[in-house]
Amino acid sequence: MAGIRDLLIDLGKDAELAAEYARNPRAVMARYGCSSDDVQAMLDKDVDKLKQASGLSELESNGIIKAYDYK
């Protein structure tokens, strides 16, 4: 399963996925296999929890959390 890290990376680079996420975030997160804690952190836009869960150190949020520091 992809998980929260892959979702954050994909949201940061895929405009179609970002638009789909804006319409139905729970469905997109379910497709990525996100845990209930990850889903809640995304819905709450809790950047600190998402940094910890994903291992991504550079996360930014403007309504949708996006990952810019990935390898």
Q: What is the pLDDT of residue 45?
A: 86
Residue 67 has pLDDT above 70, yes or no: no
| C-alpha span between 69 and 53 (Å, rounded) | 15
pLDDT digits (tens, 9 = 90+) for 16-63: 998 999 999 999 999 999 999 999 999 998 888 998 898 887 766 555
Taking a C-beta distance cutoff of 8 angstroms, is the pair 59, 2 a contact? no
Distances (CA, A) of 20 to 25, 48, 49: 7, 24, 23
Q: Quote the pLDDT of residue 71.
A: 47
